[in-house]
């Protein structure tokens, strides 16, 4: 007679209730780490790190969405997916952005949290039936593969930035790792942290900066817009590329929303993560196009947090209002530039504008959803009126700096002129 308890040589047993609790903790870990990264992105000064965070915020939102979906598959009522049962884990994760430096924040995420996520997902699969729990296997293998790619990208940029022997970095690494282990780690179950980890949880709450951080090696300006109108097509190319490069503020704004507004519907975070990455892609388009032209960011042209400088004190939601209002005119403007660049045979710039145009069409719907969430008392008409007002204020703010000569652009105009003159001479024009 068959012994039904041993008729499989590699029997792996885990009931649905246990699996769903573990899945929920994984979801929380990835989601809250993504929120940490979004919160820190505006503060991040180091340009390679800022670009890395934006890309990985989007990827992590995709991962969290898969984990959330699988949690719901496993008979978990939707209302319970966002419950704060893992309170000690959450209390530790929310302190990651309090890292003293850019380097130490990146260490928290990429040398502590993400490797532990991979270890936990690997362990889960090793003890999971690949048939009964097949959807989890499919999701986890994608997540593990993509986190592995993230860690490789992190290592590639950190080799010249991170000193692994830095005593402060080593101390921070141990502090975060010890706190995470104390609360039950990624797998759980959640438990009260020990006294040694209490100092980490007791750190003051992280607050968003009043200005987006920019690389400390760069020259500064007050505004991103040149006070001089373009005098020829080359200067038009440069002007559009600089505008693209300065979309960093537009990446920082949805990132700030993700951090600032806790316990919002998941879809809002999911859309904001994509929005954040799209805008950083646009900024990178501009930087790369200008690099091809021989112009270096922070040396020959500025990257400036001027929108934040003008309106951040009113609150992140007013930056959202400005961003949404400006993006409403984006598709028309990008379509115009695409056409002109094609006519002038600048196909690379035309393609950049084409994809930017496609992205902004989606961003408008994200903006509408977020505005309804953060200004629930506003009617559609009031939202339109307030958007028009802040856009007008923005134009006046730029115009006043140009008029008063307080734009800080002189050094960049001189450098661009010299570079373009040298380029013209070398090409025999």
Identify whether residues 273 and 418 lie together within a single domain.
Answer: yes
313, pLDDT greater than 60:
yes
DSSP string over 264-324: --HHHHHHHHHHHHHHHHHHHHHHHHHHHTT--BTTTB----HHHHHHGGG-HHHHHHHHH
Q: Within a domain: residue 209?
A: no
Pair 245, 101 in one domain = no
* Per-residue confidence band for 331, with pLDDT thresholds at 50, 70 and 90: confident
Check whether residue 275 and residue 391 sit in a common domain.
yes
How many structural domains is the chain composed of?
Answer: 2
CATH code of 397's domain: 1.20.1260
| Same domain? 260 vs 189 | no
- Closest by alpha carbon to 124, among 54, 22, 193? 22
Give the pLDDT band of residue 164 (cuts 50, 70, 90). low
* Domain membership flag for residue 25: yes
> What is the per-residue pLDDT for 1?
40
- Residue pair 312/268 in contact (Cβ under 8 Å)? The answer is no
Mean pLDDT rounded to a whole number for the chain = 92
Q: Are residue 87 and residue 186 in the same domain, yes or no?
A: yes
Higher per-residue confidence, 161 vs 322: 322
Q: Give the burial string for 340-367 (b: 16+ CB within 10 Å, else e).
A: bbeeeebeebbebbbebbebbeebeebb
Give the mean pLDDT of 164-176: 85
Q: Which comes out higher in pLDDT, residue 260 or 334? A: 260
Do 264 and 398 fall within a single domain? yes
CATH code of the domain covering residue 109: 1.20.910.10
| Model confidence pLDDT, tens digit, residues 237-285 | 999 999 999 999 999 999 999 999 999 999 999 999 999 999 999 999 9
**What's the rounded Cα separation, in Å, for the pair 298 and 258?**
28
One domain, residues 112 and 44: yes
Domain-located, residue 192 = yes
How confident is residue 290, by pLDDT bands cut at 50, 70 and 90? very high
Whether residues 168 and 275 share a domain: the answer is no
Q: Is residue 80 pLDDT above 90, yes or no? A: no
Could you tell me if 148 and 257 lie in one domain?
Answer: no
Is position 82 within any domain? yes
Taking the CA of residue 20 as centre, how many other CA atoms within 13 Å lie in the half-sphere pointing to its CB?
15
* pLDDT at position 3: 47
In a domain, 150, yes or no: yes
Burial environment of residue 331 by CB neighbours within 10 A (0 to 12, 13 to 18, 19 or more):
middle
DSSP 8-state assignment for residue 184: T
Q: What backbone phi and psi angles, to 5 degrees, belong to 117?
A: -60, -45
Q: Assess whether pLDDT exceeds 80 at residue 323.
A: yes
Residue 360 has pLDDT above 80, yes or no: yes
Q: How confident is the model at residue 160 (pLDDT cuts 50, 70, 90)?
A: confident
Q: Verify that 191 and 255 share a domain, yes or no.
A: no
Q: Quick check: is 249 in a domain?
A: yes
Structural domain for 314, as ranges? 233-426
Banded model confidence at residue 407, pLDDT cuts 50, 70, 90: very high
Average pLDDT over residues 48-57: 98
In a domain, 272, yes or no: yes
pLDDT per position as a tens digit, 364-389: 999 999 999 999 999 999 999 999 99
In terms of domains, do 176 and 298 share one? no
pLDDT of residue 11: 67
Q: Which of 3-17, 19-33, 46-60, 407-421 has the lowest mean pLDDT?
A: 3-17
Give yes or no for a contact between 367 and 323, defined as CB atoms under 8 angstroms apart.
Answer: yes
In a domain, 357, yes or no: yes
Per-residue pLDDT at 162:
66
194 with 274, same domain: the answer is no
């Amino acid at each position: 007679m068959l012994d039904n308890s041993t008729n499989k040589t590699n029997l792996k047993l885990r009931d649905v209730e246990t699996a769903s609790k573990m899945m929920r903790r994984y979801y929380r870990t990835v989601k809250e780490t993504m929120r940490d990264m979004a919160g820190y992105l505006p503060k991040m000064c180091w340009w390679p790190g800022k670009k890395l965070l934006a890309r990985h915020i989007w990827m992590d939102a995709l991962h969290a969405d898969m984990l959330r979906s699988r949690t719901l598959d496993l008979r978990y009522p939707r209302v319970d997916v966002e419950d704060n049962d893992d309170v000690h884990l959450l209390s530790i994760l929310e302190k990651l952005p309090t890292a003293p430096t850019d380097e130490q924040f990146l260490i928290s995420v990429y040398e502590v949290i993400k490797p532990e996520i991979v270890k936990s997902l690997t362990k889960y699969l090793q003890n999971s039936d690949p048939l009964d729990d097949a959807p989890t296997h499919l999701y986890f293998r994608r997540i593990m593969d993509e986190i592995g790619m993230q860690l490789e990208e992190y290592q590639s940029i950190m080799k010249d930035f991170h000193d692994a022997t830095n005593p402060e970095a080593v101390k921070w690494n141990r502090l975060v790792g010890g706190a995470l282990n104390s609360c039950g780690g990624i797998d759980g179950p959640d438990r009260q942290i020990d006294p040694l980890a209490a100092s980490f949880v007791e750190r003051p709450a992280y607050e968003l900066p009043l200005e987006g951080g920019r690389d400390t090696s760069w020259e500064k300006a007050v505004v991103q817009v040149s006070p001089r109108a373009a005098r020829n097509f080359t200067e038009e190319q440069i002007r559009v590329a600089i505008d693209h490069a300065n979309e960093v503020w537009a990446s920082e704004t949805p990132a700030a929303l993700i951090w600032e507004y806790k316990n919002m519907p998941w879809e809002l975070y999911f859309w904001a993560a994509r929005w954040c990455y799209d805008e950083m892609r646009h900024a990178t388009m501009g930087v790369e196009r200008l690099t091809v032209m021989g112009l270096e960011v922070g040396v020959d042209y500025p990257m400036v947090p001027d929108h934040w400088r003008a309106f951040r004190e009113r609150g992140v939601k007013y930056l959202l209002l400005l961003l949404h209002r400006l993006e409403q005119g984006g598709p028309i403007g990008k379509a115009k530039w695409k056409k002109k660049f094609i006519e002038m045979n600048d196909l690379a710039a035309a393609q950049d504008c084409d994809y930017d145009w496609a992205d902004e069409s989606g961003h408008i719907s994200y903006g509408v959803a977020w505005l309804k969430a953060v200004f629930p008392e506003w009617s559609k008409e009031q939202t339109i009126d307030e958007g028009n007002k802040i856009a007008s204020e923005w134009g006046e703010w730029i115009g006043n700096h140009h008029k008063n000569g307080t734009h800080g652009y002189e050094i960049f105009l001189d450098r661009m002129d010299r570079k373009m003159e040298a380029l013209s001479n070398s090409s025999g024009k």
